[in-house]
Amino acid sequence: MPHLPRFLVAATVAALLATPVASAQAAIAPTLSGPSNGKKISKGKAFTFKAKLDSSSEASGVFIIVSKSKKKGADGLIDDSQYMRSMKQSGSTFSHKAESYPALSSHWLNRKGKWYWQAYAIDCSDGTEDCNIESTIRSFTIR
């Protein structure tokens, strides 16, 4: 029984030490700014994805993922990506204009329905094994 309090102290300390890392990652996650959640987009019409990143972030880049599913994998990124691209930086804003391929019917931008998107930054500065800092997930509908 005398070992139980030491175990509780050790578990509490471990939990407190882990908490700042998760909070630090959440603080530097990209903030999505466009398209807005639920936005209706015309089939085949190119549009621009936009995200912001805190100026204190040490991320080496920001990327977008587009999927028909909002289900996340073990790494925190949405699964079954149909489209993944790097975003260009201008100050604290990152953007990427989706390419339009009117003759390619299988291209995601030419397929009607609800789509999900997520941005993520790559930052290994806090020493964690998972360097992906994920944003929230938004949806848009191609009609």
pLDDT score at 135: 96
* Strand extents, DSSP E, the chain: 31-34, 39-41, 48-52, 62-67, 81-86, 88-90, 93-97, 113-122, 132-142
What pLDDT tens digit does each residue of the chain (143 aa) get? 455 455 444 444 444 444 444 444 555 899 999 999 999 999 999 999 999 998 777 788 899 999 999 999 998 999 988 999 999 999 889 999 999 999 999 999 999 999 999 999 988 877 777 889 999 999 999 99
Can you name the CATH fold of 3-142?
Immunoglobulin-like (2.60.40)
pLDDT score at 27: 56
pLDDT score at 72: 95
Q: How far apart are CA 57 and CA 54, in angstroms?
A: 6
Six token digits for residue 42: 């015309």
Single pTM value for the model: 0.79
The backbone torsions φ and ψ at residue 72, rounded to the nearest 5 degrees and listed phi first, read -100, 145
Is-contact 71 59, C-beta < 8 A? no
pLDDT score at 15: 46
pLDDT score at 55: 79
pLDDT score at 26: 52
Is-contact 102 63, C-beta < 8 A? no
pLDDT score at 60: 82
Q: Where are the domains of the chain?
A: 3-142
